[in-house]
Amino acid sequence: MRWPVGVALTAWSYMWRTTAVHRWEMTGSPSEDAEPDLPSGVALDDVQRSRDGVGPLVHRIYRTRIVGSDLEPEELMERIGADLDRIAPSWFATFQKLDGEGPLTLGDEYVVRMPGPWDGPVRVVAVRPDGFRLATLLGHLEAGQIEFRARAQHRVLEFTIDSWARSGDRLSDLMYTHLRLAKEVQLHMWTSALERVVKLAGGRMEGGIVITTRPVETARDSTGMTNRRAMRRLADLKHRNVNFDAARIADFNKSTGWHVDDMIEPLPHEASGPPLRGGAWELARRLTVEYQLADPGVLRAVYHPDAPLEGRDMLLQIRFLGLRFAVGVRIGEVYEDERELDGRRAHVFGWAYRTLEGHFEQGEMHYQVWKWLDTGDIEFRLHAVSKAAETGPWVLRTGFRLVGRSNQLRFYRQTCRRVRRLTEAGLETQRVAKAA
């Protein structure tokens, strides 16, 4: 009975969730998002490491802030460790300790029991006063580690669940990566756990729950058929030309049939003067260089990261109305300089790409990060000159003429908001790391 009843209750609570959940996805880094080393002093023979899994390594961070609690971080973690079921949604999941009673200690093993074929064995591989870490064992749906930790910041408790995992086998990868079923089940479990942590702390949640997902493509992932096809298409771009007369771009305007769009998104402020090391301007600059600008669920860029930014070809993989298609662009101008505008000076970094033959659009897109030196105000700026292409697949050109403009503007707005949110998240991550 646990399967159908648990699944039904899970679906019901998922639909009626009232907690604000902010979800962000960006491409991870093999160096910054690698699974932590497993510590010595605990049995590791049947641990299912991320390298034993299937598909991309996914680093996911769930974080919430708790106000109004009288507990110190160590006291909160002591309460959680006394009985892990206190933070498990009982109608959905339970932590069954395999050997004896008592609080969580190093080397303990649990089975996390959930509706459906989700039961997963884990072992406690690290314990600190402010947190603990679990590793998955053979037979788990995932391969990797998950850490629970708390910290205090100016009378506010911050609770974080940090996971590094790949799918445990190909069936799990199908449910997680392709059907996305396991991903939603996992997300629902840990957001529910965070809600229960807040209650256990005797406080209230501030700002909802922030979930940052950072998939890391490894060398083994890149051998897949889809990626091989993408790399062949990327290589083919070097034979394609820009699909418009770039020398005349200064003459393009509405009267000649071109759209000219400019958007400005304020970013977190920093002290006046040149950009600060590790500050908002530098973080936003890195987002543009790594092309973390677009929602990966809508657009992904395939390129050679070791190629110079200027002159780099990129294959843009786009999803729209259930369809997937790929188009090519080439980065031309890359610049970083100081500019004067209306008597004020700004430090500006930016680059632009131009559409290639076969693209359903033709035109140029600039991404820029500005810092006003007198005030420290920082802005992300987007400048685009575009219109429907005159050549290329007629289906794409026709579709763009019919519905492309509204979706184009929506994409611009979403890109601006995403840069702001990711910059804020990056600053928060740095703050947490420094305080740890």
Query: 296-331 pLDDT, tens per residue?
Result: 778 888 888 888 999 999 999 887 666 778 899 999
- CA nearest to 54, candidates 150, 168, 131: 168
Kindly list the distances between the CA atom of residue 422 and the CA atoms of 254, 266, 287, 414, in Å, as whole numbers in the listed order. Answer: 33, 13, 8, 12
CATH code: domain of residue 406 = 3.30.530.20
Across 259-269, average pLDDT: 96
- Within its chain, how far is the Cα of 227 from the centroid? 20
Percent share of the chain, pLDDT over 90: 48
CB 381 within 8 A of CB 228: no
- Whether 401 and 299 map to the same domain: the answer is yes
Q: Which domain holds residue 400?
A: 225-435
* pTM of the complete model: 0.66
The structural domain count of the chain equals 2
Q: Tell which of 186, 218, 250 closes a domain.
A: 218
Q: Tell which of 164, 186, 218 closes a domain.
A: 218
CA–CA separation, 286 vs 332, rounded Å?
A: 18
Q: Tell which of 218, 239, 259 closes a domain.
A: 218
pLDDT score of 28:
78
- Whether 268 and 376 map to the same domain: the answer is yes
The residue with greater pLDDT, 179 or 54, is 54
Q: Give per-residue pLDDT as tens, 117-151.
A: 567 889 999 999 999 999 999 888 889 999 999 99
Q: Give per-residue pLDDT as tens, 324-364.
A: 788 999 999 899 999 999 999 999 999 999 999 988 889 99
- Whether 270 and 202 map to the same domain: the answer is no
pLDDT score of 177:
61
| Range of lowest pLDDT (110-119, 198-207, 230-239, 359-368) | 110-119
- Whether 51 and 86 map to the same domain: the answer is yes
- Whether 248 and 347 map to the same domain: the answer is yes
Residue 384, Cβ neighbours under 10 Å: how many?
A: 21
- Whether 244 and 332 map to the same domain: the answer is yes
- Whether 205 and 183 map to the same domain: the answer is yes
